[in-house]
Chains A and B, each alone.
Chain A
């Protein structure tokens, strides 16, 4: 029964799931009265057909790596963190406070500080749902969703009443000092054709480092071992002397911290100020990314690149074909979650049968 080779599990099935999701998306586009093939062409071309496209694709991908890793780490502890959105919002607050607090002389000093600020605030926002789940069994799915709403209300309050530029109507913080500005793709990659408009910045490398870090954490450290063991079986973890409350809280703190780091890219790297909705659904995209990437950092990286391309391509698509609005991306994202997450067995069972059929044929 478990005769399916590993490559089929980690690559073939996700690819089939993705194709199914895209096929249904194509049907939706066809229903709207547009040509799916042409739409696909525009998307691919817009996402990766030019240095301009890459500058955005990789920028979005950076966001999704952070939020995808956040969901993935929680998944390893069998916790479903839907609160990436709120944690990233709070991460933005942390980053903004760090950037505004000190007249930073150089970005190499500002970056480590904002990384800490973003991670701390994101982790703090995950801490309460984590504690309530661990100690009182409050359903973390619902509490983290509620914390998304509360975070958004909190941010509105702070931006309108506390942080905005005095005298200005716009609910946003002042622009960060020049010393906190992160080098963009133009600064370090002009020779690749990146232009000034590219939002891609050094936070991308922070994201890559986080992929490596999460891989090391999950598969090489004792904490990762304990997180995975706890995620597989809580009673067994208790038997092995692994404290459930501690692991739940730590896993969620790491998860929230990773989500908070997204702000280094979006708030410090791109907007260079804190605005009302700095996350724009990236927290939710992280769920699709983690599911598609099978909660493995490498898978998350690939899935994040894919979704980055989808977002950039989708923006181009909206520009070229106004009938297809931005919500198309949300639909595709929903279908990816549906097919890779909830309907996984629909594909898995026939594929497994196929392989056991081959096995019998060979024997």
Chain B
């Protein structure tokens, strides 16, 4: 493998890691507040569809982004109503949201565009264009770091950089602000938050909505940055992989970045090398494609260290007598 291949691989790793990263940070906020969310997948899918649809109609990726976030936020609110207000089972609510998104996107897509559930292909400003970071071409000649900067880090759509900034932002909000302190507390011991006179319900809704917003970004990037339009089931399990990355990252923002880059790299490898020869045996395409899923299981099996989830996760809060 020459340097160029490596650079290209890293470049597409970063691109493929971005939707995972948004979704992973989304899950981070939700789960840190004690709300399990296996509906990341559905929210991402809904956002992908509505952003592609709005972008196709308006011709603006930004309008698409807003529509995608709105769709994802609506589903997040639904999850909030089910799991916070009505204290329903969070897993079941998430499953329902995944199916709802899978069905509605195609149904409405067919109704709107008559393309079998796809949106029209996006062109020009309907997609997020790649931008070159300052001095990218100037620094190209610096050995090693130059190509890394100009070929890997530079030249992505704005959402990739938003994703990287979200890591910093999430870390700051969670660990350096009053809101973050309360949010982490409500995922560990909602009783402590409640008796301190802070609304458990309010905090959890806030967390769930932030989760919705970030899933919206994930979906919008998927349809208007990474691809050029919506295709049925295009999230392809990324929401679940993001959850695995979250566990791998032990619910910490910086580790989440690392975990998502790892999964991105894996997907990039699978895309680039359809078949791989290893010690004389040809690994089939299907194995390469299933690699992220297999790694997810391996990570969940805890072969990479024990992770302790937020203690109040998944349990609806009921005041005790």
Within the complex, are A and B direct neighbours (CB within 8 Å)? Answer: yes
Chain A contacts to B: CB under 8 angstroms = 28, 32-33, 80, 82, 128-129, 132, 136-139, 141-143, 145-147, 149-150, 153-154, 156-157, 160-161, 284, 287, 291, 323-325, 327-335, 337-338, 341-346
Contact of B302 with A138 in the complex, beta carbons under 8 Å? yes
What is the minimal beta-carbon distance from B204 to any residue of chain A, in angstroms? Answer: 15
Given known pairs A138-B302, A142-B243, A328-B107, the reply for A345 and B290 (CB within 8 Å) is no
Q: Give every chain A residue within 8 A of B83 (Cβ-Cβ).
A: 342
- On chain B, the number of residues with a Cβ less than 8 Å from chain A's Cβ atoms is 46
B141 contacts A by Cβ under 8 Å: no
Chain B contacts to A: CB under 8 angstroms = 38, 78, 81-83, 86-93, 95-100, 102-104, 106-108, 110-111, 117, 237, 240, 243-244, 247, 284-287, 289-290, 293-294, 296-297, 300-302
Contact of B284 with A325 in the complex, beta carbons under 8 Å? no
Given known pairs A153-B286, A284-B99, the reply for A325 and B106 (CB within 8 Å) is yes
Q: Give every chain B residue within 8 A of A333 (Cβ-Cβ).
A: 99, 103
Residue of A nearest to B106 (CB): A327
Residue of B nearest to A291 (CB): B92
Contact of A141 with B86 in the complex, beta carbons under 8 Å? no
Given known pairs A330-B102, A342-B88, A345-B87, the reply for A161 and B95 (CB within 8 Å) is no
- Please report whether the interface of chain B is mostly helix, strand, loop or mixed according to DSSP: helix
What is the minimal beta-carbon distance from A26 to any residue of chain B, in angstroms? Answer: 14
Residue of A nearest to B296 (CB): A146
Q: Give every chain A residue within 8 A of B300 (Cβ-Cβ).
A: 132, 136, 138-139, 142-143, 146
Residue among B38, B88, B98 making CB contact with A343, cutoff 8 Å = B88
Residue of B nearest to A133 (CB): B300
Query: Lowest 4 A-B CB distances belong to which pairs?
Result: A330-B103, A334-B99, A342-B93, A341-B92
Residue among A156, A161, A338 making CB contact with B96, cutoff 8 Å = A338
**A345, B78: Cα distance in complex, Å:** 14
Given known pairs A153-B286, A157-B284, the reply for A146 and B243 (CB within 8 Å) is no
Contact of B88 with A331 in the complex, beta carbons under 8 Å? no
Contact of A331 with B107 in the complex, beta carbons under 8 Å? yes
Contact of A136 with B95 in the complex, beta carbons under 8 Å? no
Given known pairs A32-B111, A325-B107, A341-B92, the reply for A142 and B99 (CB within 8 Å) is no
Q: Give every chain B residue within 8 A of A150 (Cβ-Cβ).
A: 290, 293-294, 297
Q: Give every chain B residue within 8 A of A287 (Cβ-Cβ).
A: 95
A-B contact pairs, 22 of them (CB 8 A): A28-B107, A32-B108, A80-B92, A138-B302, A141-B91, A142-B240, A143-B301, A145-B240, A146-B237, A146-B293, A146-B296, A146-B300, A161-B284, A325-B117, A327-B117, A330-B99, A330-B102, A334-B100, A342-B83, A342-B89, A342-B90, A343-B88
